[in-house]
Amino acid sequence: MKLEHINILLRPRTPWEAIDLGRIMMIAWHKDVWKAWSITYLAFGIFLLLVLWKHQAIALTLIWWLKPFSDRALLFAMSRSLFGTPTTFGDVWRSLPGLFRNTGLISALTFRRFSMRRSLLIPVWQLEGQTGRTASQRCNVLAARIHNPAVWLTTFCANMSLFLMVSLIIFINLLVPQGHEGIFNINDLVAGTLSPGNHFVLGSIYMVAESIVEPFYLASGFALYLNRRSEIEGWDIELAFRQMSVRKAGE
């Protein structure tokens, strides 16, 4: 890893500062990140909603369950942006087969699907290539001092996604003329009598909310990971010595 090529300022940060750094990273890298998100989550989600038109609840469940795969596409783009390498749609497409292998995807879709610190630990499998007990030990080391911030990050983003979804539903219902039924009726939803069309709209709203929140969530988790590694391995000190060496050589 060539630390001198990293596009963020390496310095000691608190976990909360690191989470805010993730927000800044996402804003700066949004074009490349959105390419990865659109070619995986959005394209696949719309495909499922259309193919399973009469089984929208199943489609929505699959969209939610398979989100860790899209997260790996996001991390692929972010890890390239970290070193100033742009990402094209072709790059994302060519990376997809590799994202199925050696990235901890199977565990992420099974017993780690409900992990509250998943955004922090995805890089352990995907970027470091750790597996098995070694990966578990590595995760414990990384999360030793930042477990609570990682959990709070997941909690906040999950609630923010729900808040955005409800807000969008209310907003759309407000646009419906008086005397007409809105797209969402809690009684119909509970009774399972929503029409496929209304289910499709609800599924689309869910995807919009997730598309706003999830990239920021993963970027903040990635920033937490980078900050923790910098703290453990002294990246900022190493980079400072390298810069001193370069200046001295130029004298």
Look at residue 246 in the predicted model and tell me its pLDDT: 46
Q: Mind listing the pLDDT tens digit for each residue in 25-38?
A: 999 999 999 999 99
Across residues 67-85, what is the average pLDDT? 93
Across residues 102-131, what is the average pLDDT? 89
> Could you state, in order of their start, the residue ranges of all structural domains in the chain?
10-238
Q: Is the pLDDT of residue 75 over 90?
A: yes
Q: Is the pLDDT of residue 243 over 60?
A: no
Across 45-54, 68-77, 242-251, least confident range: 242-251
Across residues 231-235, what is the average pLDDT? 73
133 or 88: whose pLDDT is higher?
Answer: 88
pLDDT band at 5 (very low <50, low <70, confident <90, very high): low
Please count the CA atoms within 13 angstroms of the CA of 53 that sit on its side-chain side: 3
Q: Is the pLDDT of residue 237 over 80?
A: no
Q: Mind listing the pLDDT tens digit for each residue in 165-184?
A: 989 888 887 877 766 666 66
Q: Please, what is the average pLDDT of the chain? A: 85
Look at residue 109 in the predicted model and tell me its pLDDT: 93
Look at residue 6 in the predicted model and tell me its pLDDT: 76
